[in-house]
Amino acid sequence: MAHDKFGGLAGWDFEGFHSGGDTEIWKRLGSHLVTVEDDERGTLTGVRFAVWAPNAQRVQVVGPFNWWTGDDMELIPGTGVWALFVPGLGEETLYKFKIQDRSGHWHEKVDPVAKFAEQAPANASIVYESKYVWSDDDWMARRRASQAHQEPMSIYEVHLGGWRKGKSYLELAEELVEYVTWQGYTHVEFMPLAEHPFEPSWGYQVTGYFSPTSRFGKPDDLRYLIDRLHQAGIGVIMDWVPGHFPKDAWGLGRFDGTALYEHEDPRQGEHRDWGTYIFNYGRNEVKSFLVSNALYWIKEFHVDGLRVDAVASMLYLDYSREEGEWVPNQFGGRENLEAIDFLRYVNRHLYEREPGILMIAEESTSFPGVTKPVDDGGLGFGFKWNMGWMNDTLRYLELDPVYRQYEHNLLTFAMVYAYSENFILPISHDEVVHGKGSMLNKVPQDDWRKFATLRAYYSFMWSFPGKQLIFMGCEFGQRPEFNESVSLEWWVSDLWGHGGLQRLFRDLNLVYREHPALWRLDSDPAGFSWINADDPGHNTLSWVRSDEEGNHVACITNFSPDPLQDYEIGLPTDGTWTEILNTDAPAYDGSGQYGNLGAVHAKAEPWSHFPARATVTVPPLGSIWLRRNAD
């Protein structure tokens, strides 16, 4: 064969890949449509296949083009990479790799770097080259200049298969974009979109890290959906799963007959809770694979941020293990030093390469410095989910109001550590599955109290320091738990209570975005001041949010079923404070009986540490926001 049998990879030393520094491996490994020069036949087009399998005796590429019998690939000397150029093949060719291990056994594997794959239960990799032309230049320019900590962020978490069952990427590009725009969210967060075989895993057990799931269409269809969201001014976050991968025989596990991507020792290499393998973060090629994958979604799909799943499971060697079931680090400790180094590496690299993106940790422990810069000894994330706030406030929500006064600290404790990290307040899919009940059904007593309490709770959440995330269906009070096999119960939004809650969410987002006092200083103690944190007898909390220009929003929330009339509060300035939100309003299916006639007047009389005071009415199981702009 006179043409380049490696399809352009001849002479490539893969030094970066082996040192952990190749952060774009999708450009070299996997399948690529290429053109080569042949001495006899001139210019040839076809597909170059390349796969890393350093411990294999023999590797073949199989597909319909060779009747699945196999064409032998050749080892590029000194690289562990096998490659082959097959002329005449085109886009959407199906293929797999057959790998013979040292013992002579054959293993059929999908391509770890495939850009597309068959829909489960089929699993062949598919040759795919994007032809998409983006139209989001304005968005991308704004992204590069953005300062996320000082900007509004309310996130709508979506499981694409369950939002409206059966919809494609292209259909969602119309319907989801329209809905999220109407609701006023700044971002959507997609549960993992990488290819996965088991639908009830929701994408958290990935077999195709570079393959958008084909359940909803082709990769360029996903690009179109993201492009449309960007054109509507909506950012896109995607869940990313570098913590573990499933044991399917055709996946990454024991890829060349050895523990290539995972640890050999099950005390280091297996999550028994999840039945999965753990990546070997100390292997440079694995680091190249994972960092490249993170960058791939951001560069090739214009994803604006990655929410990194299960970070706690990566940080601790004894995560969900008993004594003797884990291997200490070199200093005898429980911290996974290799995983910590990897997280710092990926965060530093992505923020340097793509300014303005978001790296978000789902981290459930008190590991220090998750959102501190790497140079200051932190992990380098931009944000962390505030799981403590979530757990405490949901415990409070589930209490009968008569008992809430005894657990008042569940609502106030989060301010003790509010500025230790850059937080997102999450009410995610995890809180409405597996017997935990929907948000509506967590709240005790009758429907009037359930809906009123939820309206007050979400107002409390939207005005608390930190960004916000809410799972789909919570915005209209869906009663059943999340079930990925069916659509959300959209029809209930026409009913009393449900429709009012949905309209409240729209107004929460709109009012929130209009008032920088609610988000500009989220990460600065100067942006928050308690009015009264110590009123458990009324189940009431109140505070003032401020920006650096002297604008203020006072937020008072009453978790008691009794109205508060002539309730005295302190305020930072005297004058007229406009009521900009009242969760008891008829538009939200509230009673409309308890409000402040649009405004309250604060007198220049000291109250506690404030120079002014006012008397307000706060509805039962309700919340009000009052605005005072700088003169």
Name the burial class of residue 95, with classes exposed (0-12), middle (13-18) and buried (19+) by CB atoms within 10 angstroms of its CB. buried
- Other C-beta atoms closer than 10 Å to the C-beta of 321 total 16
Catalytic residue among 22, 362, 475, 522: 362
State the helix-helix crossing angle for 447-463 and 387-397, rounded to 10 degrees: 150
Cβ atoms 112, 51 nearer than 8 A: yes
Closest of 94, 144, 350, 106 to residue 242, by C-alpha: 350
Cα separation of 523 and 536, whole Å? 27
Q: Report residue 495: phi and psi, to 5°.
A: -95, 160
Q: What's the sign of the alpha-carbon dihedral 130, 135, 139, 140?
A: positive
Catalytic residue among 4, 285, 309, 475: 309
The answer to whether residue 309 is catalytic is: yes
Cα separation of 373 and 381, whole Å? 7
Q: Which helix (H) or strand (E) holds 513?
A: helix 498-514
- Other C-beta atoms closer than 10 Å to the C-beta of 482 total 23
The answer to whether residue 362 is catalytic is: yes
Cα separation of 379 and 388, whole Å? 19
Q: Long-range CB contacts (< 8 A, 24+ apart) of 26-30?
A: 26/113, 26/115, 26/210, 26/292, 26/293, 26/296, 26/300, 29/81, 29/112, 29/113, 30/111, 30/112, 30/113, 30/114, 30/115, 30/210
Tell me the HSE value of 616 on the side-chain side, using a 13 A CA sphere. Answer: 32
Identify the DSSP state of 487. -
Query: What residue spans of 246-374 are helical by DSSP H?
Result: 266-269, 284-300, 311-315, 337-353
Cα separation of 94 and 501, whole Å? 48
- 270-271 sheet: strands from edge to edge: 245-246, 276-277, 270-271
Cβ atoms 512, 152 nearer than 8 A: yes
State the helix-helix crossing angle for 169-183 and 498-514, rounded to 10 degrees: 70
**Positions marked catalytic:** 309, 362
